[in-house]
Chains A and B, each alone.
Chain A
Amino acid sequence: MTGLAIDIVKRGGQRPSEQFSHTKLHASILAACLSVRTPPGQAEVIARTVTASLISWLQTKPEVTSHDLRRIASQHLHTHHPDAAYIYEQHRITI
């Protein structure tokens, strides 16, 4: 699962691209779930499921933008936890 060699093009193209990290994706989804007071066990299950869905979406892509990754993650997260998906979407557009 961690062996995907996909470049993530960062927002605005100002920062250099980085390798896809499933740990980072998992942590961000977990944090979104926990921040809306989801019980830790449920948050962990949701984060694992959404990360797996994202990895299967990424299989055929050599590179994606961080914006697309966040958008698709949010779509998947929405089916499991709409509140967490909302916070996940809002992260970059709160300030």
Chain B
Amino acid sequence: MDIPSSLAIVALAALIHASFQLSVSVLTLLGGHAIGVKKTQARVLRLTTAFVAGTAVMTMLLLSFAALVFQSFFANAVPAFAWALVCGVLAGIGLAVWMFYYRREKGTSLWVPRPVASFLSDRTKATKRSAEAFSLGLVSTIGELLFIIGPIVVSALVLIELPALWQLAAIALYTAVSLLSLGIVWMLIGSGHKLSQIQHWRESNKYFLQFAAGSGLLILGFYVYVSEVLGSTIGGL
């Protein structure tokens, strides 16, 4: 796979990652609690920035870890069966996202285990310091691992076939793009927008976001299957 195609796949995977909403939900709650207990705007900004930084660090760590594991298994050439397996995972998660991502009730409750949701909600309320907000960012990324595992795995496989310098660029690209939705909410909270407007937009468009994330995963899986599995089979004949 050439470098532009690899980076395009990483960017698409990161965009799908960005459409998942657990971290955005936690950031919205965190902003609400911080403003609700009369913290200054600077303090709110520090907390939300620390949260976004925690999310970025955990995303980078997860991607790097996945790439390291795959590199130890496959060196620098990913076999067709691994690509096929990943395509199956992407399709499976895509269908699951279409069917289950949001709970069928008011609000933006997600299909994550309730104990995880309660833990994040309670921790959000208890977060007072930037270090706690940073940790919350780390944990919330792990909380949505069930869904982001697809984009992370496919990006990691693409990554190990790239030259070393491009690997760093791809990790940076993935992290930056995956933070897009979080970054937008962070900017809106930082610039003094009402949380009710943000949450209302999220609630009104939740099924569109669900459809977009599920479709993105299916499209990515199909593209990777055609280019890496069928391409290598036909090319090999």
Contact = CB atoms under 8 A, between A and B. Distances in A.
A1 interface: no
Interface string B50-94: 000000000000000000000000000000000000000000000
A83 interface: yes
Interface string B20-54: 00100110110111011110000000000000000
B38 A94 contact: no
A87 interface: yes
A32 interface: yes
Interface string A60-73: 00000000000000
Q: Max chain B CB contacts within 10 Å: which of A35, A89, A91? A: A35
B122 to A, nearest CB: 10
B196 A94 contact: no
Nearest to A34: B36
A36 interface: yes
A31 interface: yes
Nearest to A85: B196
Interface string A18-45: 0000000000001110111100100000
Nearest to A81: B196
Given A34-B36, A35-B35, A87-B32, A94 B194 contact: no
B130 to A, nearest CB: 19
Contacts of B231: none
Contact of B38 (A32, A34, A87): A34
Interface string B105-124: 11111101000010011000
Contacts of B36: 30-32, 34-35
B200 A95 contact: no
Contacts of A84: 196
B192 interface: yes
Given A31-B37, A86-B200, A94 B28 contact: yes
B107 A90 contact: yes
Nearest to B124: A95
Contacts of A30: 36
B200 A94 contact: no
B35 A93 contact: no
Given A31-B33, A86-B199, A86-B200, A36 B194 contact: yes
Contact of B32 (A35, A40, A93): A35
Nearest to B105: A93
A78 to B, nearest CB: 12
Contacts of B108: 90, 93-95
11 contacts: A30-B36, A31-B36, A35-B35, A36-B195, A84-B196, A86-B199, A90-B107, A91-B29, A95-B112, A95-B117, A95-B121
Given A35-B33, A40-B38, A86-B200, 5 more contacts: A37-B192, A37-B194, A91-B32, A93-B105, A95-B22
The list of the 3 closest CB pairs from A to B, nearest first, reads A93-B107, A31-B36, A35-B36
